Amino acid sequence: MSIVEAKYIWMDGKLVEWSDANVHVMTHALHYGTAVFEGIRGYWDGSRLKVFRLKDHVRRLFYSAKVLYMQIPYSPEKVEEAIIETVRANQIRENCYIRPLVYRGYGVIGLNPLKAPVRVAVAAFPFGKYLEEKGVRCCVSSWRRIAIDSQPPAAKVCGNYVNSCLAKVEAILNGFDEAIFLDNHGYVCEGTGENLFIVRDGVIATPPTVTGILEGITRDTVIKIAKEMGFEVQERLIARSELYMCEEAFFTGTAAEITPIVSIDNRPVGDGSIGPITRKLKTRYFEVVMGKVDKYKTWVTEIEV
Q: Which residues of this protein are in contact with ligand PPE, per CB under 6 A?
A: 39, 164, 190, 193-195, 214, 216-219, 252-256
Please report how close the Cβ of residue 24 comes to ligand PPE at its closest, in angstroms.
Answer: 23
Question: In which element (H, E) is residue 201 found?
Answer: none
CA 37 and chain centroid, separation: 10
Cβ-Cβ contacts under 8 Å for 282 (sequence gap 6 or more): 257, 258, 274
Q: Nearer Cβ to ligand PPE, position 119 or 168?
A: 168
| Among 156, 282, 295, 297, the one annotated catalytic | 156
CA 11 and chain centroid, separation: 22
Give catalytic status of residue 224 as yes or no.
Answer: no
Check if the beta carbon of residue 223 is closer than 8 Å to that of residue 252: no
Q: Nearer Cβ to ligand PPE, position 259 or 263?
A: 259
Distance CA(115)–CA(134), nearest Å, equals 48
Please report how close the Cβ of residue 108 comes to ligand PPE at its closest, in angstroms.
Answer: 27
Distance CA(111)–CA(115), nearest Å, equals 11
Please report how close the Cβ of residue 65 comes to ligand PPE at its closest, in angstroms.
Answer: 16
Check if the beta carbon of residue 41 is closer than 8 Å to that of residue 289: yes
Cβ-Cβ contacts under 8 Å for 60 (sequence gap 6 or more): 38, 156, 215, 217
Please report how close the Cβ of residue 42 comes to ligand PPE at its closest, in angstroms.
Answer: 12
Please report how close the Cβ of residue 38 comes to ligand PPE at its closest, in angstroms.
Answer: 8
Q: Nearer Cβ to ligand PPE, position 61 or 82?
A: 61
Distance CA(60)–CA(79), nearest Å, equals 12
Distance CA(192)–CA(188), nearest Å, equals 12
Q: Nearer Cβ to ligand PPE, position 177 or 190?
A: 190
Q: Nearer Cβ to ligand PPE, position 137 or 219?
A: 219
* Residues that are catalytic: 156
